[in-house]
């Protein structure tokens, strides 16, 4: 049977410490015993137990001092005081120091287990809230996989195959085809995993990437004021989407490969590895085989990620789905079923859609805002926000005063690139060949 949580017992009485360890181990917990405050602090730094049973009086320090030191290392730790000197004053002092609960000696095994179960429930709730807080920072797709073309049916079959496995998945395809949607579909059909977290490998400053992925201990570098879990720890037990995996720096690829193979992470400044159980789905619009040839992407990492590989075709290769997708978006934006005239659908089908489904979504959204009665006319907007229309300056001007200032053209170009990319600054910067900081600076100055 798999052991439950690790519990640290800090008590100077060897008989009590040994008895508590035997009781907890009989309940499948992993128990660690320390007889002094110093030993307890050291054990906590090494093992990071989520729950601590702490004696009020220790030979080298008070339980209050040890409690405060532990909570400084990890504010999420649940500390249960145990003491033979029960009093209201001791209980108040313990709670003010940040203790989770307070048990006067002698106590029964049932009383101890109830206190531990309450601590575990609190940890689970806080963990869910932490994951939800991280989720709220991510951009989410709210669409479904729509269409009945051969390409769409093939994708559904691949999604079902991937959902039946815990193997890593690599999803490739052009920008805007719906790769993240496919990833979410895989997760939703795989009922074994609860959370779904996303990290954009191209949006994190390189100097912060390792801390974001793997976490860090307090004081491990300048600015590390608290201990922090990385995304792999937060996603443990769930699915982690590595968006734009092709942009991860080469020097971090070996560490990522190690995590995937060993299912362990080591925080920056950490002394011991931490087990994680994460289902990995990676997404990219880059040609990773070309990146491998150019020594920009590790071949061994590619094969580790591409156990299951899904390629999402561009919209121009399954135009028979355009009408269904357009109707879906129209109903979503209008809140009810609306009509797209047949002539409009024919024009939509004849358009090359360089921005793929994302561009179609933007066109339908704009058309929905301009709709009259129960009908929308999205084809009238084709090209107004596309990459093909960003360079519209005339080259045959007759007079110098008619020439559009370069800065104005740059601003216009940036705005249209943002429209194509659905407002995603990181993606727009990549399309424009700019750094994210340069793009933000130009937007701010415009």
The helix (run of H) or strand (run of E) holding residue 172 is: strand 169-172
CA 113 to CA 10: how far, in whole Å? 17
Residue 423 lies in a domain: yes
Domain coverage including residue 276: 153-313
- Residue 396 in this model has a pLDDT that exceeds 80: no
Is 144 part of a structural domain of the chain? no
* 75, part of any domain: yes
CA atoms within 13 A on the CB side of 68: 8
- Check whether residue 307 and residue 321 sit in a common domain: no
pLDDT band at 394 (very low <50, low <70, confident <90, very high): very low
Single out the residue of 381, 306, 349 nearest to residue 149, CA to CA: 349
Judgement on whether residues 288 and 369 belong to the same structural domain of the protein: no
Is there a single domain that holds both residue 181 and residue 254?
yes
Higher per-residue pLDDT: 153 or 121: 153
3-state secondary structure of 196: strand
pLDDT, one tens digit per residue, over 206-245 is: 788 888 899 888 888 877 778 888 899 999 889 999 999 9
Last residue of a domain, one of 286, 313, 340: 313
Question: In CATH, what number is assigned to the domain containing residue 174?
Answer: 3.40.50.300
Spatial neighbors of 72 by CB under 8 A, at least 6 apart, are 218
Q: Are 169 and 282 in contact (CB under 8 A)?
A: yes
pLDDT of residue 304: 95
- For the entire predicted model, the pTM comes to 0.60
Domain at 115, CATH number? 3.40.50.2300
Domain count, the chain: 4
Q: In this model, does residue 398 exceed pLDDT 70?
A: no
More confident call, 44 vs 369: 44
Q: Answer yes or no: is 15 within a domain.
A: yes
What tens digit of pLDDT does each residue of 366-384 get?
888 877 667 898 988 886 5
Q: Are residues 362 and 418 in the same domain?
A: no
My answer on whether 184 and 254 are in the same domain is yes
- Give the residue from 313, 330, 350 where a domain finishes: 313
Distance CA(444)–CA(446), nearest Å, equals: 6
- Of residues 347 and 424, more confidence is placed in 347
- Judge if 443 and 341 occupy the same domain: no
Q: Which of 71-85, 131-145, 252-266, 414-428 has the lowest mean pLDDT?
A: 131-145
Question: Looking at the structure, do residues 304 and 440 belong to the same domain, yes or no?
Answer: no
142 is a domain residue: no
Same domain (yes/no): 231, 321: no
Which pLDDT belongs to residue 102? Answer: 85
Tell how strand 279-284 and strand 215-216 pair up.
unpaired
The helix/strand/coil state of 52 is strand
As given in the structure block, the two tokens for residue 171 are 């999803």
Task: Name the percent of the chain lying above pLDDT 70.
Answer: 86
The pair of three-digit structure tokens given for residue 179, joined into one six-digit string: 């790769």
Let me know if residue 190 belongs to a domain: yes
The pLDDT tens digits for 329-364 are 998 888 778 889 999 999 999 999 999 999 999 999
CATH code assigned at 328: 1.10.8.60
Phi (first) and psi of residue 242, to 5 degrees: -95, 95
Q: Is the pLDDT of residue 175 over 50?
A: yes
Residues 375, 268 share a domain: no
Judge if 208 and 308 occupy the same domain. yes
The single residue listed with the structure tokens 């004021």 is 225
**Alpha-carbon gap, residue 389 to 382, rounded angstroms:** 10
CB 360 within 8 A of CB 315: yes
Same domain, 298 and 407: no
How much is the pLDDT for 133? Answer: 55
- Dmax of the chain from CA atoms? 98
* pLDDT score, position 363: 92
Would 146 be classed as within a structural domain? Answer: no
Residue 118 lies in a domain: yes
The pLDDT value recorded for residue 37 is 93
Same domain, 201 and 347: no
* CB contact set of 375 (below 8 Å; sequence gap of 6+): 338, 339, 340, 341
How many of the other CB atoms lie within 10 Å of CB of 36? 16
What lies within 8 Å, CB to CB, of 373 at 6+ separation is none
More confident residue, 109 or 143: 109
Which of these three, 313, 340, 355, is where a domain ends?
A: 313
User: Which CATH number characterizes residue 436's domain?
Assistant: 1.10.10.60
């Amino acid at each position: 049977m798999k052991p439950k949580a690790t519990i640290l017992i800090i008590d100077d009485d060897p008989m009590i410490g040994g008895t508590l360890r035997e009781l907890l181990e009989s309940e499948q917990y992993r128990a660690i015993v320390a007889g002094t405050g110093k030993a307890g602090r050291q054990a906590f730094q090494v093992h990071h137990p989520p729950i601590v049973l702490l004696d009020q009086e220790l030979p080298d320090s008070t339980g209050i001092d040890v409690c405060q030191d532990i909570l400084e290392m990890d504010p999420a730790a649940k500390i249960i005081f145990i003491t033979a000197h029960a009093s209201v004053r001791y209980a108040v002092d313990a709670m003010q120091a940040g203790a989770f609960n307070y048990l006067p000696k002698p106590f029964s095994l049932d009383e101890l287990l109830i206190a531990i179960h309450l601590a575990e429930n609190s940890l689970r709730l806080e963990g869910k809230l932490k994951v939800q807080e991280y989720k709220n920072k991510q951009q989410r797709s709210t669409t479904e996989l729509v269409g009945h073309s051969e390409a769409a049916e093939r994708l559904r079959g691949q999604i079902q195959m991937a959902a039946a496995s815990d193997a890593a998945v690599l999803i490739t395809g052009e920008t805007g085809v719906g790769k993240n949607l496919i990833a979410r579909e895989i997760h939703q059909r795989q009922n074994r995993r609860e959370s779904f977290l996303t990290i954009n490998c191209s949006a994190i400053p390189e100097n912060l990437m390792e801390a974001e992925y793997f976490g860090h201990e307090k004081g491990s570098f300048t600015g590390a004021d608290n201990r922090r879990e990385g995304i792999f720890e937060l996603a443990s037990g769930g699915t982690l989407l590595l968006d734009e995996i092709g942009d991860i720096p080469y020097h971090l690829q070996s560490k990522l490969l190690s995590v995937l193979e060993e299912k362990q992470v080591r925080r920056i400044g950490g002394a011991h590895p931490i087990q994680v159980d994460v289902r990995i789905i990676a997404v990219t619009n880059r040609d990773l085989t070309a990146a491998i040839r150019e020594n920009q992407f590790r071949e061994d990492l590619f094969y580790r990620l591409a156990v299951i590989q899904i390629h999402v075709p561009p919209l121009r290769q399954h135009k028979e789905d355009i009408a269904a997708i357009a109707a879906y978006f129209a109903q979503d934006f209008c809140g009810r079923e609306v009509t797209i005239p047949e002539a409009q659908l024919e024009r939509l089908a004849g358009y090359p859609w360089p921005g793929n489904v994302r561009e179609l979504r933007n066109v339908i959204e704009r058309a929905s805002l301009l709709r009259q009665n129960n009908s929308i006319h999205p084809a009238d907007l084709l090209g107004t926000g596309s990459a093909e229309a960003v360079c519209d300056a005339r080259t045959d001007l007759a007079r110098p005063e008619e020439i559009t200032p370069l800065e104005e053209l740059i601003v216009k170009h940036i705005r249209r690139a943002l429209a194509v990319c659905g407002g995603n600054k990181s993606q727009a910067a990549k399309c424009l060949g700019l750094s994210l900081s340069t793009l933000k600076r130009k937007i701010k100055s415009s």
